[in-house]
Structure 1
Amino acid sequence: DEDDYQGDDISSLGHAELEQTREIREYARLAGWEMPLLANLTKPYTPPTAATPLRFRYTTYMGEQHPAQRKVVVEFDPQDLSLSPAHTQNLIKLAGVRYNPTTKLVKMSCEDHETQAQNKRYLGDTIKALIAKAKSPESAWLKDVPVDFRHAKPKKRYQFPEEWLLTEERKKELEARREA
């Protein structure tokens, strides 16, 4: 009988709000006391070297299972692969629409297999096969094929109109309009 609500307690909505406040305070304490300690664990950025021309990107959903989690994306610059100029051109032609002439990167992705490791392995094998094909004497016919960049549409850059710039004269003009 003592456990019954006697009007002397807050409602379940009030308890939920208190719980949310506790959670916010906990994260505020973490941000104030624990996060500054992470600065001791920082490492200086080292750009990719000639020994590591491939850049792999993974997606993680922090403890949740998600179908897109197995996807692996690889990017590389064909110039970084230490190929001859003719072989580099062959590789670009073989990569086709996966080569972006603006960024000069080949971008490939795979999500066909169950795990990220399998997809990464598949991408690595595919890149090895592309390089082998670009270097092979059988690819001599590629020198007659023109490079086709029709797929790469340059992004249109719009210029900010000069008359929209907020100069002192423009500020006075706008103030006068507001007062009228």
Structure 2
Amino acid sequence: MPGHIEFLFDFGSPTTFLAHKRLAGVVARTGATANYVPVLLGGVFKATGNTSPAVVPAKGAYMNIDMARYAKVHGILLQQNPHFPINTIMLMRMATGLRGTPRYAPYVDTIFNAMWSLPRDMGDPAIVAEVLTAANFDAAETLALAGDEWVKSALKAETEKAVARGVFGAPTFFIGDEMFFGQDRLDWVEAAVSS
């Protein structure tokens, strides 16, 4: 019986972008299903006392090199976003609002690409509207999701649930109750979901 992967993500993480681009291959090879769970990375960091790797300059510099290596090996177009860091709360709320609809997967891919392949200033609602319109979304309708109270509550609840499960950053994967952190653990995720 095919396995199930929970993928906890935030658009603000370039390593999560790499994981997103590679996850489709894992799903294709294993027959697993993937459940994309939006969480607010800033909320996770605050709750756990964690910080971005960029806070430590040497670590940030190394991570940029390491991400470039992974992108090259896997044929992924990754560009550093000159607008980084970008507050992703609006983007993550829209993801939460679209979750469970046919537009969810296209939205996730569109936003990840705009953040890390194009890259655009995805903290600017006008730019976000342009990106959404170009991808055949109703920009006004989609942007309005970010202001819905049920969406705000749902994203907050998923973030709190993630922290309660031991999540401290993104990308994080769960196979059942087993947690894997980092896009560089996708081989382990694939092995776990295949067993």
Q: Do both share a fold (TM > 0.5)? A: no
Structure number with greater CO (CA < 8 Å, separation at least 6) is: 2
TM-score range, shorter chain: under 0.3
Higher helix share: 2
Highest Rg: 1 or 2? 1
